[in-house]
Structure 1
Amino acid sequence: MAELTVRLPGEEPGADPDADPGELVVLLVEDDPGDALLVEELLADSRVLARLQWVQSVADACRALTAGGPHCVLLDLHLPDAQGLGGLARVLQAAPRTPVVVLTGLAEEGAGLAAVTAGAQDYLVKGRVEPDLFGRTLRYSIQRKQAEQAAAALQAERLRAQENARLERGLLPSPLLDTSDVEVVTRYRPGRAQALLGGDFYDVVESGDGVVHTVIGDVSGHGPDEAALGVCLRIAWRTLVLTGVTGPDLLRQLERILTAERSGPELFATVSTLALEPDRRRVRVLRAGHPGLLLRSMSGPRGSEPVIDLVEPECGPALGLIPGQADWQEEELRLPGQGALMLFTDGLFEGRTSATGSARLGEDGLTALARTHAHLPGPRFVDAVISGVETIAAPGGGLADDVAVVHLEWNET
C-alpha cells in the first residue's frame, strides 16, 4: 500500500530520505479524513508507484509546494481556507509547473470542467473513480503538463530566435554604398556566454558627396536592453549622417539619444566614426572612448610586404559618461593610395590568454598578430585575425565578449 503521510494544518512536510527516486510523490489537499483514506486505497489499487502526502488546507499545500517535491497535486475544491476556484488559483501560483487534478462531488461536475478551464489538468468525481481510471488520470496529467512545458519552452526558443534575428538585422546591417572603389568586410562573433547579441554595432553608408561614413560601437553590458540600445544608436547614426550631421555634432546627438533611451544611468557606449573622403587619401576620425584602429598600407614598392600600424587618433569620453559635458575633437589622417582600415570592438583583444593568469592580448598583441597576416586579401585577413585571436584566447576559455569588425579597403583612384 502507498504510504500516507498525514500532515496536520500548519505542519511543514519534509523530504523522505528513504524514498524511491523512481516513485511519484502525490500531494493530496483534502480536509476530510474519509475521503483521504479513499484516495489512499485508490492509489494502492491503481498499481502506480507513488507516495501520498496529505495536507488539509491550501496554506499547507502552498508550503509543501514551495519546498518542492510533489509531482502532482490532488485538490479538493472545498477546504477550510479556500472555496472553489480560489484554492486552485493559489496552488497554481505556488507551483505553476506542477499538474493539478481537482476532486469534486457528485453534483459538481460543472465545477470540475471550470477548474480545467482555469488551469487544472483534469478532474475526478468522488465516488465515480475506479483504480485504473485514477492511475491513468495521474500519469496522463503529469505527461500533459510536461508536454505543455516542452511546447512553451519550444515557443519561447522560437520567439527568442526571431528576436535575435531582428536584433541582428538592426545591429549588423548591410553597407549602403554606391561606389565600387571601396570594399567592405564586416564580421560579428558573439561572446561564449551570450545567448543573445550584445550591444556591439556597426554601419557603413555613402553620402551624396561620395564620402564613405563608418561607425562601430559597443554598448556596455549584455542582454536585450543593451542590444536594443545598440540598434537605436546604429539607426540614429545612419539617419543623422544621411541628413548631413557629421563631426562632433554627430556624437552629441547620439549621446542625447543614448541618455534618453538607456534603461539606467550606468549604461554608456564607446563609438568610433570615420569619414573617408572621395579622394581616398584622407579620413576624418572621431573617437568616444573606443579602441584605436589598424591601418594597412599596401601601396609600397612592388614586392614589399604591406605595413600594419595601430592608429590612435585623439579620443574623448564614451557617450553617456558625462552627458552634455564631453568635448570630442575630429582628427584627419593621411592615407596611402592603396590601403585599408580595420575597426573593431574591445572583445577582439581583451580575451584572457591563459587559464590562470590575468594577461590579455591587448591592442599591441592584436597588432602583432595582424602583421603576420598582412599579405592576405581583405576577407581572408579579417578571418585570419579573428581566428588567431580565438586560438590565443582558447586557454583562457575563449572570447568572453562579443566581437565586431569592419574592414574598409580602397584602391588608388
Structure 2
Amino acid sequence: MIPRPGDSTSRRLAVLLVEDDAGDALLVEELVADSGVPVDLRWVRSLAEAGDALRALPADCVLLDLHLPDGQGLAALGRALALTQRAAVVVLTGLAEERTGLAAVSAGAQDYLVKGRVEPELLGRALRYAVERKQSERAAVALRASQMRAEENARLERGLLPLPMLRTKDVTVTARYRPGRADALLGGDFFDVVETAEGVVHAVIGDVSGHGPDEAALGVGLRIAWRTLVLSGVQGGRQLSLLEEVLVAERAAPEIFATATVVTLSQDRSSASVWRAGHHGLLSSTAEGEVEYAEPAGGPALGLIPGAGNWPEGRLALRPGQALTLFTDGLFEGRTGDGRLGEAGLLALAREHAALAAPEFVDTLIDRAESLAAGHGGFDDDVAVVRLDWDHTS
C-alpha cells in the first residue's frame, strides 16, 4: 500500500547515505543527529553497495553524493533512481555545483543540498519534505493508473456489454455481467442481442479463454463481428465459422480459443435454433415455473481446430410464456464446499427461484451462485447472463 502523505512525520525515517568520503559521511551523521528528526541512517560508499542495501531493506530517502567511484553527476542520479521507485532521492552537491543540483531536481531528484551550507534544521526539513513529496507523487501516479484502468475498463465494457438492438416490444432482454475476483476487471465474456427487420431475434453469448485486456479486446472484436454478420444476413453455423476466422487472425497466442452459443428466435416465437461452439447448454423456463437444462448438439470451441469445425443446428420448440437464459461458465464453476456448483447445481437453483420475474430471477441466480462460492473467494471467472423473454400475444 502506498503511504499517505503525512506518514513521515509520525515515524522514523529510513535514510540511506551514499557517500564515498568518510569525512562528509560523518558530517551528515552529525547533522542528522542534531536535526530533531527521528532517522535510521545507513551509510554506503558506492552505488553498487546502495543497490545491495536497498534490496536488503528499503529506504524512505536516499541522500546521494554526485561524485562516487561508480557514478558521476546526473548519470549517478539516473542509476540511483533506477535502484528504487519507493524512496525519495536528495542529492548532495559541492559549493560550486548548485546548477547541477537544480538539474538533478529536473531529472527526478526530490531536492538538493549544498555541502557546507546545510544546517541540522534544514537537513531535517529537507528529508521530511522530500519523503512527503515522493509519497504524494507515488499516490498521484497510482491514482492516475487507476483512473486509466477504469477508463479502459469502461471502454471495454461498452464494447462487450452493448444495449440490445430490438425493433419490436414483444421481446425483453435481461442482461448482467459480473467480473471475477481477479482485480475485478473485465475479461473476455461477451454477449449481444439483435432483432432483424423481419422480426427474427438473434442472441450470442461467448467466453474468450484467459483474462486480461487482450482477451477482453478480442471479445469486443468477436461481439462486433457477430453483430455485423447478423445485420449482413449471415446465420447459424456460418456465423461461427467466420467468427473463428476473426479469432484466429486477432488472437495474441495460438492457444487462445473462445466458446460461444448463438440462439435465433423465430419470427412467431414458436421455436428457437441453437448453435453451440464448445459452450455449455442453456436454461429453458416455462410460464408454469418449470426449468430445464437444454443442451442441443454442438461443435468445437472456436480456434481449437481452425477450419475443421462443424456446428450443427439444434432446435427447441417454444411454448407461450417460455424464456431462455444463456450464461457463461463462471456462473457454475465457482468452488463450493462440495467441490463446484456445476450445471446440476445451477439447475436446482434456477428451479428454486423460477417463479421470480426475469430481473429478480437473474440477479438471484447470480447472487446465490456467488454466495455458495464465497467461502472460496467468490467467482473464479467472469459471469455473463442473458435472459430472453417474449410475449406470444403481441
TM category, shorter: over 0.9
CA distance in 2 between partners of 1:29 and 1:91 (Å): 9
Q: Could you tell which deviates more after superposition, 329-338 or 135-144? A: 329-338
Residue 347 of structure 2: aligned partner: 367
> How do residues 199-278 of structure 1 correspond to structure 2 at under 5 angstroms?
199-278=188-267
Cα shift at 1:267: 1.4
Could you say what secondary structure the match of 1:162 adopts?
Answer: helix
Q: Per-residue CA shift, 1:141-176, capped at 9, x if unaligned? A: 011101111111111111111111111111111101
Matched positions, count: 384
Structure 1: any 5+ residue segments left out of the alignment?
1-20, 299-304
CA distance in 2 between partners of 1:230 and 1:101 (Å): 47
Q: In structure 1, what residue type is equivalent to 2:182?
A: A
CA distance in 1 between partners of 2:95 and 2:204 (Å): 72
Q: 2:371 aligns with which of 391, 394, 397?
A: 391
> How do residues 7-18 of structure 1 correspond to structure 2 at under 5 angstroms?
none
> How do residues 32-71 of structure 1 correspond to structure 2 at under 5 angstroms?
32-71=21-60
CA distance in 2 between partners of 1:365 and 1:195 (Å): 25
CA distance in 1 between partners of 2:185 and 2:371 (Å): 23
> How do residues 270-289 of structure 1 correspond to structure 2 at under 5 angstroms?
270-289=259-278
Residue 100 of structure 2: aligned partner: 111
CA contact (8 A) 2:179 2:383 kept: yes
Name the CA shift for 1:29/1:390 in 2 (closer, same or farther; >3 Å).
closer
CA distance in 1 between partners of 2:345 and 2:118 (Å): 75
CA distance in 2 between partners of 1:364 and 1:53 (Å): 63
CA distance in 1 between partners of 2:357 and 2:41 (Å): 71
Cα shift at 1:55: 1.7
Could you say what secondary structure the match of 2:340 adopts?
Answer: coil
Q: Does the alignment pair 1:319 with 2:285?
A: no
Q: Does the alignment pair 1:381 with 2:344?
A: no
Cα shift at 1:264: 1.4
Q: Per-residue CA shift, 1:281-322, capped at 9, x if unaligned? A: 121111001110111222xxxxxx332211111111111111
CA distance in 1 between partners of 2:13 and 2:179 (Å): 42
Q: Does the alignment pair 1:164 with 2:153?
A: yes
Q: In structure 2, what residue type is equivalent to 1:30?
A: E
Q: Could you tell which deviates more after superposition, 257-266 or 186-195? A: 186-195
> How do residues 95-174 of structure 1 correspond to structure 2 at under 5 angstroms?
95-174=84-163
Residue 17 of structure 1: aligned partner: none
Q: Per-residue CA shift, 1:67-125, capped at 9, x if unaligned? A: 23322111111122211100000010111221111111111110000000000000001
Q: Per-residue CA shift, 1:176-228, capped at 9, x if unaligned? A: 10111111111112223342111111100111222111000111122222211
Could you say what secondary structure the match of 1:27 adopts?
Answer: strand
Q: Could you tell which deviates more after superposition, 176-185 or 257-266? A: 257-266
Could you say what secondary structure the match of 2:249 adopts?
Answer: helix
CA distance in 2 between partners of 1:106 and 1:183 (Å): 77
CA contact (8 A) 2:59 2:86 kept: no
Residue 309 of structure 1: aligned partner: 292
Q: 1:24 aligns with which of 13, 29, 40?
A: 13
Could you say what secondary structure the match of 2:308 adopts?
Answer: coil
CA contact (8 A) 2:167 2:197 kept: no
> How do residues 287-366 of structure 1 correspond to structure 2 at under 5 angstroms?
287-298=276-287, 305-354=288-337, 357=338, 359-366=339-346
CA contact (8 A) 1:62 1:90 kept: no
Taking structure 2 as the reference length, the TM-score comes to 0.93
Name the CA shift for 1:22/1:384 in 2 (closer, same or farther; >3 Å).
closer
CA distance in 2 between partners of 1:284 and 1:214 (Å): 10
Q: In structure 2, what residue type is equivalent to 1:373?
A: H
Cα shift at 1:396: 4.1
CA distance in 2 between partners of 1:203 and 1:388 (Å): 24
Cα shift at 1:368: 2.1
Name the CA shift for 1:176/1:55 in 2 (closer, same or farther; >3 Å).
same
Q: 2:82 aligns with which of 64, 69, 93?
A: 93
CA contact (8 A) 2:60 2:86 kept: no
CA distance in 1 between partners of 2:371 and 2:124 (Å): 56
CA contact (8 A) 1:285 1:331 kept: yes
Q: Per-residue CA shift, 1:253-284, capped at 9, x if unaligned? A: 11111112112122111100011111111211
Q: Does the alignment pair 1:407 with 2:391?
A: no
Q: Could you tell which deviates more after superposition, 365-374 or 116-125? A: 365-374
Q: Does the alignment pair 1:73 with 2:56?
A: no
CA distance in 1 between partners of 2:155 and 2:59 (Å): 40
Could you say what secondary structure the match of 2:82 adopts?
Answer: helix
